[in-house]
Structure 1
Amino acid sequence: MISKNSASSPLYAIIDLGSNSFHMMITRQLADSVQVVDKVKRKVRLAAGLNSDNLLSEEAMARGLECLSFFAERLQDIPTENVRIVATATLRLAQNSQQFINRANKVLGQEVRLISGEQEAELIYLGVAHTSCCQEKRFVIDIGGASTELIVGTALKPTKICSLDIGCVTFNRQYFSDGLLTQANFNQAILAAKEVLSPLIAPYSSIGWQSVLGGSGTMQALAEVLLFQNRPSIISYNFLKEIQQQLIENQSVQHINIAGLTSERTPVIASGLSILIAIFESFAIEQLQLSSGALREGLLYEMLPCNKKVSIRKRTTRSLMHRYHVDEQHAYRVKAQVKSLFQSLSSAWQLDKDNSYELLLTSCDLHEIGLLLEFKHHQKHSAYIIENAELPGFDQADRQLLKAFVKLYKGDIDISLLKQSVTDNQTAGYLLVILRLSIILCRLRKDDVLPHYQSSVDVNNTINLCLPKDWLAEHPLIADELVSEEKHLATLGLSVNIQCNI
């Protein structure tokens, strides 16, 4: 039965009793989207407390219960039906898990649910599906402290799931217990993981996939290293081997020194990396993108009264527009011009209606979100918001292109900002030009201003905008801005001609 205060409370809480860390996430629904208001993470290393008989030590239990006592205080004002608490791999393995769960229930004042490996895999996939925009079949990887989940699915439906009893904490204890980062230790760990993965290669490969995503601690840590180095956060096989070599050169866990790698991840990075290398080699994976969602997000979206018919990106975009009081009519007006110019120019520039095109349309909605802060630097504010806000449905690469569009939609063009991994730099430049011209043409922010006009690109990469001379004379501000755009487009090797006799 739902309590009286649940309807008035927008807060939801998720607690994940993981093998390596305990996590608590507090969220609320805001403008048809989800806003994280608090996150707490504590390194409990529960899996390290399992002995050879799979009995959880009293010391490990004490660490876990102390952490839960901190979480309990935060749950006091959240309705029970808005809370989900789950235990995963280590407590599935522990022979005395019920003893810990009973004590945890008393500390929290709520029920802890022990989920199976298959349930965990399904929830992980749901979390990825609700936070990543992908219509293709995807392969989702999650490496935890004591288990690894592999899932293939499309949209919101997983079609193949598996949970394996291998994880970064248990592998660390088995293959790096001496604290040494030797080639031999890596070889043993990788080979052991491959033996476990071997029976899955044929059934998974027969299904196939178009993209690979992952969101566990190991992959997040590797993505942070890439970002620290100003590289796209796409994890490739070559990058995994590069990190492995650096770790071997560091010689021991105590002496790990890799720029961008946090100290809390160093104890288990070698073991997690070994499992990930084994997965890449077993399934012939070339690269992996980081997902912003996993188990906790899956639990959350399973509980929320969300509209699954609305796409993830549309929910996120709509939420941002509402939050930053965007002029929706003007955004629609700009988008209509973008679609028209794209239709006219796409053939000459060989542009496709792919992900980069979808991001261009999104930039029409979001290019003015920084106006709520101030006008003078609103483009920088818009870029900052896109870089730092929670954006379910947009991965790091998507953010880079979106950020470039909103920061460069008028004024000087910094071509270095167009370097990203969604599309090639030239295509990104062409799309930016379409956005910039559309915004100039919509300068008066009225629906009945623009006349019928023609647009094309000639062999010299000059954009011809065939606007009536009388109309240009009546709208000197727009005409002047189109002329001024010439010097900006020269940065991209383009020019614009508006002197057409119609």
Structure 2
Amino acid sequence: MILASIDLGSNSVILLIMEYNPSTNSIIKISDFYTTPRISESLTINDGISELAIGRLENVLMEFNRIIKDSRCEQVIVSATNAFRIAKNAIKLKKFLEAKYNWKISILKGEEEAWISFLGAIIPEYRTDNSLLIDIGGGSTEVVFGNSKNIDFRRSLQLGVVSLKELFFSNHELLSTNSIELARKYIVNKLSEIQVTIPADTRTLAVAGTPTTLSAIINDVKNYSNELVNNTILKSEQVGGVCTQLQQMTPKEIRTSYGKIVEGREDLLVGGCLILEGFMNHFKISKVIVSTRGLRYGAIYDYLIKNNLYAINK
């Protein structure tokens, strides 16, 4: 059984194609396709996904639809996140896309997104010890603490790399010290909503474009691949060091220095660094494990589990 999972993120839109073999209870990745149409651009200002952003999204989905048909996918799972949660034209756009492509699009609630991202990051290991997941998105950040049998805490914060840029960095090529400090205070204020103590020895996973790109930068990965980044470690001092370095560069300089691995997020990396740094300080985390998995994987696992097709190896 070949399945497709589309993650309609606020910045990135990603297609994952996997094959499920019921006789061996195994799921194998066939291919991944990353794009950055940034559908939440100006969303905090206009309260709706703009026509320009919709046009970029449609171009991506037309190509994804071709790939899905060529791959002979039997099931297409489409998960929409924060941009669709808050945009006033989200339902209209959802209905239009569903009719055009004959897909069912699920607009996930924040806590639902958190759980599915967690599921994607911890399977196939499906450990019984507790893990903390931090998923830094374009419009929101999801936090989950728990294990395969019990979730102690999950939360979705209105804090993302695109929304942070819109609020503090939209008019600056080279960021000012004042804008950085205002952004830091904003992040600290948002994180104050999380009143939970995480044990010091908790395994912490960081998913999505910010940690994967930071890992590629720190490990001098020139040609990005999930295999080179997955399960790498980001230490707090490394995150802080890169954050300081990037603050002194314009988006053009970041793109020139690091090339294709930062494409589509060169103007978002500072905000992403500040958010990750803020989380590590808030929870007193010394290091995080970078995961290249997350929502798109979790959506497939969630579908198979709910339909009694996949048994978790505990």
In structure 2, the CA distance between the partners of 1:168 and 1:51, relative to structure 1 (3 Å rule), is closer
Structure-2 residue corresponding to 1:213:
205
Partner residue of 1:254 out of 252, 255, 260: 252
Question: Structure 1 residue 49: deviation in Å?
Answer: 4.1
Structure-1 residue corresponding to 2:216:
224
Partner residue of 2:311 out of 300, 307, 312: 307
Distance (whole Å) between structure 2 residues aligned to residue 206 and residue 226 of structure 1: 26
Structure-2 residue corresponding to 1:265:
265
Partner residue of 2:82 out of 81, 84, 89: 89
Question: Structure 1 residue 186: deviation in Å?
Answer: 2.2
Which has the higher mean CA deviation after the structures are superposed, 141-150 or 207-216?
207-216
Structure-2 residue corresponding to 1:195:
189
Please give the root-mean-square deviation of Cα atoms over the aligned residues, in Å.
Answer: 2.3
Structure-2 residue corresponding to 1:19:
10
Structure-1 residue corresponding to 2:45:
52
Structure-2 residue corresponding to 1:497:
none
Question: Structure 1 residue 62: deviation in Å?
Answer: 1.6
Distance (whole Å) between structure 2 residues aligned to residue 242 and residue 150 of structure 1: 24
Structure-2 residue corresponding to 1:460:
none
Structure-1 residue corresponding to 2:102:
109
In structure 2, the CA distance between the partners of 1:151 and 1:208, relative to structure 1 (3 Å rule), is farther
Pairing of 1:71-220 with structure 2 (within 5 A)? 71-76=64-69, 77-79=72-74, 82-132=75-125, 134-177=127-170, 178-200=172-194, 202=195, 204-205=196-197, 210-220=202-212
Question: Structure 1 residue 205: deviation in Å?
Answer: 0.7
Which secondary structure state, in structure 2, belongs to the residue aligned with residue 52 of structure 1? helix
Question: Structure 1 residue 71: deviation in Å?
Answer: 1.8
Q: Which amino acid aligns with 2:262?
A: T
Aligned residues: 296
Gaps of 5+ in 2: 222-227
In structure 2, the CA distance between the partners of 1:171 and 1:131, relative to structure 1 (3 Å rule), is farther
Distance (whole Å) between structure 1 residues aligned to residue 114 and residue 208 of structure 2: 12
Q: Is the 8 A contact 1:145 1:167 kept in 2?
A: yes
RCO higher in 1 or 2 (8 Å CA, sep ≥ 6)? 2
**TM-score, normalisation: structure 2:** 0.87
Structure (1/2) with the larger strand percentage: 2
Q: Is the 8 A contact 1:72 1:107 kept in 2?
A: no
Distance (whole Å) between structure 1 residues aligned to residue 125 and residue 244 of structure 2: 31
1:42 and 2:35 matched:
yes
Structure-1 residue corresponding to 2:240:
241
Gaps of 5+ in 1: 1-9, 312-502
Q: Deviations over 1:452-480 (max 9, x none)?
A: xxxxxxxxxxxxxxxxxxxxxxxxxxxxx
Percent identity between matched residues is 24
Question: Structure 1 residue 276: deviation in Å?
Answer: 0.9
Q: Is the 8 A contact 1:13 1:24 kept in 2?
A: yes
Which secondary structure state, in structure 1, belongs to the residue aligned with residue 78 of structure 2? strand
Q: Is the 8 A contact 2:11 2:39 kept in 1?
A: yes
Q: Deviations over 1:154-192 (max 9, x none)?
A: 235322100011101111121111122333322221210
Q: Which amino acid aligns with 1:211?
A: R
Q: Which amino acid aligns with 1:194?
A: V
**TM-score, normalisation: structure 1:** 0.56
Distance (whole Å) between structure 1 residues aligned to residue 200 and residue 240 of structure 2: 24
Q: Which amino acid aligns with 1:210?
A: T
Question: Structure 1 residue 148: deviation in Å?
Answer: 0.2
In structure 2, the CA distance between the partners of 1:131 and 1:192, relative to structure 1 (3 Å rule), is farther
Structure-2 residue corresponding to 1:354:
none
Q: Which amino acid aligns with 1:297?
A: Y
Q: Deviations over 1:421-447 (max 9, x none)?
A: xxxxxxxxxxxxxxxxxxxxxxxxxxx
Q: Specify the structure having the higher radius of gyration (Cα).
A: 1
Q: Is the 8 A contact 1:26 1:38 kept in 2?
A: yes
Structure-1 residue corresponding to 2:282:
282
Structure (1/2) with the larger helix percentage: 1
Q: Is the 8 A contact 2:200 2:284 kept in 1?
A: no
Q: Is the 8 A contact 1:131 1:291 kept in 2?
A: no
Question: Structure 1 residue 206: deviation in Å?
Answer: 6.2
Which secondary structure state, in structure 2, belongs to the residue aligned with residue 39 of structure 1? strand
Q: Which amino acid aligns with 2:32?
A: K
